[in-house]
């Protein structure tokens, strides 16, 4: 059996470039340091080099840079090992096992290939080369060498590496490891068994689907967008595309998902804490700007529910990335006591055109024409705020305040933030009296303000100010009123929903500030 190794250029241990044209008599052998058989043949190669190198090109190629240095230190060979740590030459030569030795004839055509170490084969080759090249016989005591030693697997066929090398050789943007399954296996069931799923069926991420998904972004597939806790996995654009395929996304959703990934992997957002808390917090994604219409997001009837592909699958893709790349899996680092449905998905667009105030992204400092994602951390919701009777802004805002007071517990003041989703009919009521966002926030704080004495734990509820703390307070201190939220900035307001129905919604937050999670907004740059 004879195979071939083509032309290459590699550097030696001295950092010098060495080129091989494969156009004359030559011997090329592939080795790696941690292979016992490769170490066994190093003295044999040294003897071959002494006998044949004057009359033929002679190269020994190592598959790791550090391994080459170790082999050189241990054996001090008369040749300098060439560095193929990228494994491109090994892959091109189709090296399955090391050591593999190639011999080319005088015209450059392959004439011998030896794989592993079989003493009789290597001895026969030594005799043939000595005769053909009119060279000395290698100075070896063949009887001291083992009769046979199996080789080791080449690094270029390692499943974690081979797909990348194949993609590079084919000029493919894909580098992720390709998993082959049996012809009789069900792809969907296989993905369930591997733990890739959130509990719902996934779309198999075939190379064709992933490539199609990558067409929706201008970014390089191997660009690292973020490092995601808790496993500190590198989120490449390709990995986003894979999970977007599994979630059922369209390619045009990719810029949104890429940006959300960057937002949630900031220290401010603290995705590790969000997913690890027993409270059951989860990201809630709000999208603003022209991209809403471009990708067909829902901001109107049923905006927070099912039925819209973009809303549902963008949020789901983010959850799958958190699971499959970040490693946050229920029962592992994700410790939510009850969980919540938002852990499947929660993403929607703001109906800016129905918002009489500044839309969310403009309020946060962006231009109206910018497309922006904002990611909040919410522990429950959406809960309905039902008010079909209020005819004044003060009454309606009062209702909203009383409903928001239930977040966590009516006695839990200064404990969290909220995301208030105001529907169009309620907007009309607020506008009737000229209410601004600031007015709405102020009214919520006004109607929820309670004296501390009413917030002290008692026989009705053990939640609230500790009895011991209250016992040390003066009457004046106990009479001090605290609104529900520590700051009006903790009341986030957007507009969404259909024209009909006086049912706004609220998401209740998690721990806020540096001890918990801070909402993050990011402009989508790749549009």
Domain match, 399 and 512 both: yes
The per-residue b/e assignment along 379-403, b for 16 or more CB within 10 angstroms, e otherwise, is bbbbbebebeebeebeebbbbbbbb
pLDDT at 384: 97
Which secondary-structure segment (H or E) carries 377? strand 372-386
Phi and psi dihedrals of 153, rounded to 5?
A: -65, 135
pLDDT at 183: 80
Place of tokens 């309606």: 396
Domain match, 136 and 206 both: no
Q: What is the pLDDT of residues 42-85, one digit of tens each?
A: 999 999 999 999 999 999 999 999 999 999 999 999 999 999 99
Domain match, 380 and 519 both: yes
The verdict on pTM exceeding 0.75 is no
Domain match, 372 and 402 both: yes
* Cα–Cα–Cα angle for 399, 402, 405, rounded to 5 degrees: 150
Domain edge (last residue) among 113, 133, 167: 167
DSSP lists the bridge partners of residue 506 as 383, 420
Kindly state whether residue 457 falls inside one of the protein's structural domains.
Answer: no
Q: SS3 of 448, please?
A: helix
Spatial distance between the Cα atoms of 175 and 520, rounded to a whole number of angstroms: 30
Spatial distance between the Cα atoms of 276 and 446, rounded to a whole number of angstroms: 34
Domain match, 124 and 198 both: no
Kindly state the tokens that stand for 199: 């509990």
Which spans in 369-433 are helix H?
A: 393-404, 424-432
Domain match, 224 and 160 both: no
Report the CATH number at residue 12: 3.40.30.10
Kindly state whether residue 179 falls inside one of the protein's structural domains.
Answer: no
Spatial distance between the Cα atoms of 414 and 241, rounded to a whole number of angstroms: 40
How far lies 449's CA from each of 387, 395, 402, in Å? 21, 16, 10
Domain match, 325 and 263 both: yes
Burial label for 11, CB within 10 Å (0-12, 13-18, 19+), is middle
Spatial distance between the Cα atoms of 373 and 403, rounded to a whole number of angstroms: 27
Domain match, 119 and 195 both: no
Radius of gyration of the chain (CA): 33
Structural domains of the chain, count: 2
Kindly state the tokens that stand for 151: 């080789």
Domain edge (last residue) among 110, 136, 167: 167
Helix 254-264 × helix 309-324 angle, to 10°: 40
Give the pairing type, strands 481-482 and 450-451: antiparallel
Phi and psi dihedrals of 71, rounded to 5?
A: -60, -40
Range of the domain at 271: 188-449+484-523
Spatial distance between the Cα atoms of 77 and 45, rounded to a whole number of angstroms: 8
Kindly state whether residue 301 falls inside one of the protein's structural domains.
Answer: yes
Spatial distance between the Cα atoms of 190 and 197, rounded to a whole number of angstroms: 10
Phi-psi region of 447 (alpha: psi -120 to 50; beta: other; left: phi over 0): alpha
pLDDT at 37: 98
Spatial distance between the Cα atoms of 378 and 190, rounded to a whole number of angstroms: 32
pLDDT at 376: 98
Per-residue model confidence as pLDDT tens for the chain (527 residues): 456 788 999 999 999 999 999 899 999 999 999 999 999 999 999 999 999 999 999 999 999 999 999 999 999 999 999 999 999 999 999 999 999 999 999 888 999 999 999 999 999 999 999 999 999 999 999 999 999 999 999 999 987 788 778 777 777 788 788 788 888 889 999 999 999 999 999 999 998 899 999 999 999 999 999 999 999 999 999 999 999 999 999 999 999 999 999 999 999 999 999 999 999 999 999 999 999 999 999 999 999 999 999 999 999 999 999 999 999 999 999 999 999 999 999 999 999 999 999 999 999 999 999 999 999 999 999 999 999 999 999 999 999 999 999 999 999 999 999 999 999 999 999 999 999 999 999 999 999 999 999 999 999 999 989 999 999 999 999 999 999 999 999 999 999 999 999 999 999 999 999 899 999 999 999 87
The candidate with the shortest Cα–Cα distance to 260, out of 327, 337, 345, 330, is: 345
Contacts within 8 Å (CB) and 24+ apart, 361-365:
361/288, 361/289, 361/521, 362/288, 363/437, 364/521
Domain match, 290 and 197 both: yes
Kindly state whether residue 269 falls inside one of the protein's structural domains.
Answer: yes
Domain match, 108 and 233 both: no
Q: Does the bond joining 382 to the residue before it have cis omega, within 30 degrees of 0?
A: yes
Neighbours of 99 (CB within 10 A): 28
Domain match, 220 and 302 both: yes
Domain match, 149 and 252 both: no
Kindly state whether residue 231 falls inside one of the protein's structural domains.
Answer: yes
Kindly state whether residue 445 falls inside one of the protein's structural domains.
Answer: yes
Which secondary-structure segment (H or E) carries 75? helix 65-75
How far lies 9's CA from each of 18, 53, 82, 83, 168, in Å? 5, 19, 9, 10, 17
pLDDT at 2: 57
Spatial distance between the Cα atoms of 122 and 139, rounded to a whole number of angstroms: 13
DSSP lists the bridge partners of residue 385 as 504
pLDDT at 162: 81
Q: SS3 of 101, please?
A: strand
Kindly state whether residue 456 falls inside one of the protein's structural domains.
Answer: no
Q: What is the pLDDT of residues 138-178, one digit of tens each?
A: 999 999 999 999 999 999 998 778 877 877 777 778 878 87
Kindly state whether residue 68 falls inside one of the protein's structural domains.
Answer: yes
Spatial distance between the Cα atoms of 307 and 213, rounded to a whole number of angstroms: 21
């Amino acid at each position: 059996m004879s195979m071939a190794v083509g032309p290459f250029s590699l550097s030696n241990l001295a950092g010098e470039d060495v080129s091989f044209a494969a156009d004359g008599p030559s011997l090329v052998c592939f080795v790696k340091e941690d292979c016992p058989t490769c170490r066994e043949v190093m003295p044999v190669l040294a003897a071959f080099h002494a006998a044949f190198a004057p009359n033929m090109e002679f190269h020994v190629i190592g598959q790791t840079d550090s391994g080459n240095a170790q082999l050189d230190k241990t054996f001090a060979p008369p040749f300098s090992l060439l560095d193929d740590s990228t494994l491109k030459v090994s892959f091109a030569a189709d090296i399955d096992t090391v050591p593999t030795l190639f011999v080319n004839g005088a015209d450059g055509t392959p004439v011998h290939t030896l794989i592993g170490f079989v003493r009789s084969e290597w001895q026969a080759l030594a005799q043939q080369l000595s005769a053909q090249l009119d060279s000395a016989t290698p100075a070896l005591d063949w009887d001291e060498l083992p009769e046979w030693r199996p080789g080791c697997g080449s690094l270029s066929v390692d499943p974690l590496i081979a797909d990348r090398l194949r993609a590079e050789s084919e000029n493919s943007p894909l580098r992720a490891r390709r998993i082959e399954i049996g012809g009789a296996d069900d792809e969907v069931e296989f993905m369930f068994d591997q733990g890739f799923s959130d509990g719902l069926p996934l779309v198999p991420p075939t190379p064709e689907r992933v490539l199609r998904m990558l067409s929706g972004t201008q970014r390089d597939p191997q660009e690292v967008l973020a490092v995601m806790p808790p496993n500190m996995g590198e989120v490449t654009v390709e990995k986003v595309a894979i999970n977007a395929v599994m979630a059922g996304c369209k390619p045009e959703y990719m810029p949104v998902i890429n940006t959300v990934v960057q937002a949630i992997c900031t220290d401010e957002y603290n995705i590790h804490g969000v997913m690890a808390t027993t409270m059951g917090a989860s990201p809630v994604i709000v999208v603003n700007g022209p991209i809403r219409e471009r990708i067909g997001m829902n901001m109107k009837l049923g905006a927070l529910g099912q039925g819209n592909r973009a809303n549902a699958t963008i949020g789901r893709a983010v959850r799958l990335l958190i699971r499959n790349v970040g490693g946050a899996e229920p029962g592992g680092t994700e410790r939510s006591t009850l969980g919540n449905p938002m852990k499947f998905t929660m993403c929607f667009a703001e109906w800016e055109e129905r918002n009489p105030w500044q839309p969310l992204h403009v309020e946060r400092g962006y231009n109206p024409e910018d497309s922006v994602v904002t990611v909040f951390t919410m522990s429950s919701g959406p809960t309905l705020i039902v008010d079909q009777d209020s005819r004044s802004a003060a009454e309606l805002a009062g209702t909203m305040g009383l409903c928001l007071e239930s977040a966590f517990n009516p006695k839990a003041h200064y404990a969290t933030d909220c995301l208030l989703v105001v529907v169009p009919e309620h907007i009309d009521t607020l506008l009737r009296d000229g209410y601004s966002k600031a007015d709405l926030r102020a009214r919520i704080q006004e109607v929820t303000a309670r004296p501390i004495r009413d917030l002290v734990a008692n026989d009705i509820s053990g939640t609230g100010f500790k009895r011991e703390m209250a016992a040390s307070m003066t009457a004046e201190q106990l009479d001090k009123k605290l609104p529900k939220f520590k700051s009006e900035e903790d009341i986030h307001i957007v507009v969404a929903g259909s024209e009909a129905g006086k049912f706004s919604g609220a998401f209740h937050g998690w721990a806020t500030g540096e001890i918990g999670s801070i909402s993050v907004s990011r402009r989508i740059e790749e549009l």
